[in-house]
Amino acid sequence: MSWTVTMLEWGSLRVEPLLDGITAASALGEQLSATRYTLDAGAVVPEHAHAAEEFGQVLSGSLQLTVGGDTRTISAGEGFLIRGGVPHSAVAQADGCDLLECYSPPRSPAPPHAKEGTS
Amino acid sequence: MSWTVTMLEWGSLRVEPLLDGITAASALGEQLSATRYTLDAGAVVPEHAHAAEEFGQVLSGSLQLTVGGDTRTISAGEGFLIRGGVPHSAVAQADGCDLLECYSPPRSPAPPHAKEGTS
């Protein structure tokens, strides 16, 4: 029998360490995926790109986001949509950041370069 | 020149009345879309279905969600993923509900049956 719904109690999902000061919990669908990130103050997501389109929403704290050379600080309650394939990077601000993202096509985040040489 | 990023300051997006006690603001991408719903206490989303897969996150308040005959109450901080094509309905609880959803393929929500006879 195929799935119909998946309830996401984020606190009960497996949390993966991703980068220094960054953890992530993910849920994969067939058309999209969702990841809840927790970033410590000052945590850095180096510039990277992926084919999937990316939606992000800052749940708490704030994030400095750089996309295509343009840098903005995004506060809790605000979001963004990044076209697939566009390089982007981010730095969590002094209050840290809880960040929700959705991707389509679905993807499970991995550290940039983490898979180099392994597949 | 193609787009690279869209910043979503939800408060500055156009808010559309959707159903009694429900408003929505949406941002459309190419692979996915995002909608921020505000539901008054007791507001009802009648059963409906759409081809797009649906991710939801309760930002504040709580929501009683029924999917495939199974009813759950989802509180702020929790989410769900509904397979495309699966009928679902919802009722905002006594504290109302701010709800964030992403869809893939992208869709702009409309009241169930609103487009009947018009296209």
Could you please report the per-residue DSSP string of A13-62?
SPPEEEETTEEEEEEE-SS-EEEEEEE-TT-EEEEE--SSEEEEEEEEEE
Which domains are present in chain A? 22-104 (2.60.120.10)
| Phi-psi region at A51: left, alpha or beta (left = phi > 0; alpha = psi -120 to 50) | alpha
pLDDT of residue A118: 37
Residue among A4, A53, A104 minimizing CB distance to B67:
A4
pLDDT beyond 90 at A115: no
Q: What is the mean pLDDT of residues A92-108?
A: 97
Of B7, B31, B74, which has the smallest distance from its Cβ to A80's Cβ?
A: B7
**B47 at A interface, C-beta within 8 A:** no
Does the pLDDT of residue A79 top 60, yes or no? yes
pLDDT tens digit sequence for A22-64: 999 999 999 999 999 999 999 999 999 999 999 999 999 999 9
Q: Please state, in angstroms and as integers, the Cα–Cα distance from residue A74 to each residue in A96, A99, B44, following that order.
A: 12, 10, 32
Q: Which residue ranges in chain B fall short of pLDDT 50?
A: 1, 113-119
Check CB contact under 8 Å for B10 and A79: yes
Q: Is the per-residue pLDDT at A111 higher than 90?
A: no
**Is B104 within 8 Å of chain A by CB?**
yes
Question: Are B82 and A5 within 8 A, CB to CB?
Answer: yes
Q: What is the pTM of this model?
A: 0.91
A11: left (phi over 0), alpha (psi -120 to 50) or beta: alpha
Mean pLDDT score of chain A, rounded to an integer?
91
Over range A96-112, report the average pLDDT. 90
Q: Is B57 helix (H, G, I), strand (E, B) or coil?
A: strand
